[in-house]
Amino acid sequence: MVLAVSVMSVTMAAPPPSPPSASQASQVQSTVNAASAVAAGSADQLDALDRWRKMISDDRALLERQADRQYGGLEKLFDKALWVLGVLISVAFGFLFWFFGKSKNEAKAVVKEMFEERVREAVDAEAQRLREQYQALRTEVDDLASFKSRRVVWVAGAGALAADDKLQASIDRALSVMRGAGISNISQISPAQGDAFQVGDPDLVVLSFDGSEEARALLTSLVHQLQPKAPPVPLLIYSFVPGTLPAKLDEADIASLESFDWYVPVNFPAQLVAQVQVLLRRGRSRIGEL
């Protein structure tokens, strides 16, 4: 009882609380403002964080769609490759079944036929090559062997020979050189001026040409005789005369040779022998290859 009275007395005796000062009110207001600012900043940060999350989510969705398309293309390519591989395997197995499904004798017959065909083709090709080489070699040997026996006719006017002894001596020296080279079938014709003559069917004709009327008449006659011959007979117009300059063909001579293509003017003995050897080795049948 005494204790209760004492407490009541103390309570009733305590002074009432004093109102807050201006500085305390300002401090409280600053704290409230700071808290409001912090709350506003936190809201902005949350909005930004939401936007970043949304952007990341959109990018992830875009990447997933792109990946799905790429994986879809790869799957199509892989399926097509598997289809092609399956076709090739089917063809291979079909060939193997066809080949090995045959009997042993049939397989041997197929292999033997293929082998014989390849061998036959190789043998035929080699035989054809050898025949061509043999024919070319035989032609060359025949030319080398026959040029010595091919017929050469030397034509010189009787008047020119009678008028100049040096001409016959020059012809004899040329004939001697030709015979020394192995050309043995040589004959000389010396018709008189105005007389008809025939050279026959020689392989080569040589005309001693000194520019005289007699030589020009012989040239015209030889052109008429040789022009229709086939294969053609070459004509060498030998204009060398000892002690004088070689005679030249005039316009009338060129006109008479216009229809005859197989003539060669020759001015010196060495040139004559070389031309005779070349033409005889080539032969009338191959004169067009010169």
Segments making up each domain of the chain, as ranges? 102-145, 148-289
pLDDT bucket at 53, cuts 50 / 70 / 90: confident
**Strand 186-189, strand 152-155: pairing:** parallel
What's residue 275's pLDDT? 92
Q: What mean pLDDT is predicted for residues 41-46? A: 61
Rounded Cα distance, 185 and 67, in Å: 100
- The H or E element spanning position 290 is none
What's residue 9's pLDDT? 43
What's residue 5's pLDDT? 39
First to last CA, the chain: 166
Is pTM beyond 0.75? Reply is: no
pLDDT bucket at 8, cuts 50 / 70 / 90: very low
30-44, 53-67, 143-157, 192-206: least confidently modelled range: 30-44
Q: What mean pLDDT is predicted for residues 178-195? A: 89
Q: What is the DSSP letter of 55?
A: H
Q: What mean pLDDT is predicted for residues 128-148? A: 80
**Mean pLDDT for all residues in the chain:** 77
Rounded to the nearest 5 percent, the helix, strand and coil shares of the chain are: 70, 5, 25
Length of the chain: 290
- Alpha helices in the chain, H assignment, sequence order: 2-13, 22-101, 104-146, 158-163, 165-180, 213-226, 251-256, 269-282
Structure tokens at 54: 């949304």
CATH code of the region 148-289 = 3.40.50.2300
pLDDT bucket at 102, cuts 50 / 70 / 90: low
- The H or E element spanning position 264 is strand 263-266
Q: What is the DSSP letter of 231?
A: S
Residue pair 205/153 in contact (Cβ under 8 Å)? The answer is yes
Helix (H, G, I), strand (E, B) or coil at 152: strand
Rounded Cα distance, 98 and 50, in Å: 71
